[in-house]
Amino acid sequence: MPQPPSKMRIAVLVSGGGTNLQAMIDKSAAGVLLADIAVVLSDRPDAYGLTRAGKAAIPAYCVDYKSMKAEGARIDAEGKFPVDLDELDRRQKILRNPDGAERRRRLAGLVHAEREMARIIDSYQVDYVCLAGFMRLVTPWFIGHYNTGGARRILNIHPALLPSFPGQHGYEDTFAYGCKWGGITVHFVDEGEDTGPIIAQAVYPILPDDDTDKVRARGLQLEYEVYSQVINWLSGGFVILDEFPDGRTRVSVTDPAYRETLKSWMHLVDPA
């Protein structure tokens, strides 16, 4: 008898509350997320996302970046680091400290932690790695480990309408700038800071009596919808990525229901 196609498998990386993870868990339980959350990882032991995963019986791990940092630097100091950190430093675009030795220490710590993350993730054989409030830089080592054969396999959700307001404070920066519309972005991760190819974006109005909390609450409602939708599009083979010789990229979504989906996101935040 023919078997039904097996569902896509994802790893979700969190650092904190994990409400995006919870939205995925709920949608998965409701049968509207076309992927299994195979494993959840955090860079810190107190991330509530780990508890959420545990409650949903999803394997959950902490790779404690704090302790990995010192250990990575120690292994490098002993000359035993298994990755060429000089070459990595030439490729990386995020650590900007002019002190080369300090950059190398940071890289050693990050890569040491990433190797452990990858060891765990790979034992679950996932199709995509989804950053969902994962507040660590990812190095070219991690990106190269998952982006093989021309495919991109790491996703991120960013709380602003990229390329505006990259960095860790998307909602605060959008509101403080006086924007009248804010937005959220799901993108493939590349070696820059929130610069990877954009897959989906949605916008919400910022109203006269708003504050940062209201703006964040409105944006998060969109995050929950859009991230799951992107995973479903990937699962359905609806995400096409063109890469041009000059380095530009463009993602097209070929879902026949694309326009209806966009309209539904707009109704979700209708100011009326």
Binding site for ligand GRF (CB under 6 A): 14, 16-20, 132-133, 157-159, 223
Cα–Cα distance for residue pair 223/211, rounded to 1 Å: 18
DSSP state of 6: P
Q: Which DSSP helix (H) or strand (E) runs through 93?
A: none
The answer to whether residues 73 and 105 touch, using CB atoms and an 8 Å cutoff, is yes
Beta strands per DSSP E along the chain: 8-14, 35-42, 60-62, 128-131, 154-158, 181-188, 198-205, 239-243, 249-253
Q: Smallest gap, in angstroms, from Cβ of residue 124 to ligand GRF? A: 20
Q: Give the active site residue among 158, 169, 187, 267.
A: 158
Cα–Cα distance for residue pair 91/124, rounded to 1 Å: 28
Residue closer to ligand GRF (CB basis): 33 or 132: 132
Q: Smallest gap, in angstroms, from Cβ of residue 54 to ligand GRF? A: 16
Residue closer to ligand GRF (CB basis): 143 or 161: 161
Q: Smallest gap, in angstroms, from Cβ of residue 14 to ligand GRF? A: 6
Cα–Cα distance for residue pair 187/197, rounded to 1 Å: 5
Residue closer to ligand GRF (CB basis): 115 or 214: 214
Q: Is 145 a catalytic residue?
A: no
Residue closer to ligand GRF (CB basis): 132 or 251: 132
Q: Which residues are catalytic?
A: 158
